[in-house]
Chains A and B, each alone.
Chain A
Amino acid sequence: MGPTLLEANSPIAESAQPIISCNAVRLAFGTKANAQTVLNDLSLAVYQGQIVSLLGPSGCGKSTLLRVIAGLIEADEGSVMVDGAKVARQMPRAAREKMSFVFQEPALLPWRTVWQNVMLPSQLRGVQQQTKVKDLVEHLLGLVGFQRSDWSKFPSQLSGGMKMRASIARAMSTQPTILLLDEPFAALDDMLRSKLNDLLLTIASEQKCTMLFVTHNISEAIYLSDAIAVMSQGRIAERLKVPFAFPRQASLRSTPEFAAYYGQVATSLARGHS
Chain B
Amino acid sequence: MNSSHGKHLTNPAPVIVFLLVATIWHFVVVLFKIPPIILPGPIAVANALWQERMVLLKASWITLQAAAVGLLCSAIFGSLIAVVFSQSSLLRIALYPYVIFLQTVPIVAIAPLLIIWSGNNFRTIVLVATIISIFPVIANVTSGLLSINENLRELFQMQSASRWQTLTKLRIPAAIPQLVLGLRVSSGLSVIGAIVAEFFVGNSGEYDGLGTIMTSRQANLKTAELIAALMACTCLGIILFGLVNLLSATLLRRWTRHSGFESDK
Residue of B nearest to A195 (CB): B264
A159 lies within 8 A of B158 (CB) = no
The CA-CA distance from A270 to B176 in the complex, in Å, is: 48
A157 lies within 8 A of B257 (CB) = yes
User: Which of B160, B169, B258, B265 contacts A96, CB < 8 Å?
Assistant: B160
Quick one: given A109-B170, A124-B159, are A156 and B257 in contact (CB under 8 Å)? yes
B254 lies within 8 A of A154 (CB) = yes
Q: Mark B221-255, 1 if CB is under 8 A from A, else 0.
A: 00000000000000000000000000000000011
The CA-CA distance from A189 to B165 in the complex, in Å, is: 35
Hey, which chain B residues are within 8 Å of A198, CB to CB?
Answer: none
Hey, which chain A residues are within 8 Å of B258, CB to CB?
Answer: 156-157
The CA-CA distance from A40 to B126 in the complex, in Å, is: 61
Tell me which residues from 71 to 110 in chain A have a Cβ below 8 Å from any Cβ of chain B.
72, 93, 96-97, 99-101, 103-105, 107, 109-110
Hey, which chain B residues are within 8 Å of A165, CB to CB?
Answer: 264
Query: Does B147 touch A at the CB level, under 8 Å?
Result: no
Hey, which chain A residues are within 8 Å of B154, CB to CB?
Answer: 67, 70, 72, 101, 103
Q: Mark A99-123, 1 if CB is under 8 A from B, else 0.
A: 1110111010111000000001101
The interface size of chain B toward A, counting residues with CB under 8 Å, comes to: 29
Query: Does A59 touch B at the CB level, under 8 Å?
Result: no
The CA-CA distance from A72 to B254 in the complex, in Å, is: 30
Interface residues on A, range: 35 or more
B254 CB, min distance to chain A CBs, angstroms: 5
B183 CB, min distance to chain A CBs, angstroms: 18
Query: Does A145 touch B at the CB level, under 8 Å?
Result: yes
Tell me which residues from 108 to 167 in chain B have a Cβ below 8 Å from any Cβ of chain A.
149, 151-152, 154-161, 165
Residue of B nearest to A124 (CB): B159
A104 lies within 8 A of B158 (CB) = no
A27 CB, min distance to chain B CBs, angstroms: 16
Query: Does B204 touch A at the CB level, under 8 Å?
Result: no
Hey, which chain A residues are within 8 Å of B165, CB to CB?
Answer: 124
Hey, which chain A residues are within 8 Å of B149, CB to CB?
Answer: 107
What are 15 of the A-B contact pairs (CB < 8 Å)? A67-B154, A72-B157, A72-B158, A96-B158, A97-B160, A103-B151, A107-B149, A107-B151, A107-B155, A109-B170, A124-B159, A158-B261, A159-B262, A162-B262, A162-B264
Interface on B for A, CB 8 Å cutoff? 149, 151-152, 154-161, 165, 169-170, 173-174, 176, 254-265
New A-B pairs, 7, CB < 8 Å, besides A70-B158, A157-B259: A103-B154, A109-B174, A111-B176, A121-B158, A124-B161, A154-B254, A165-B264
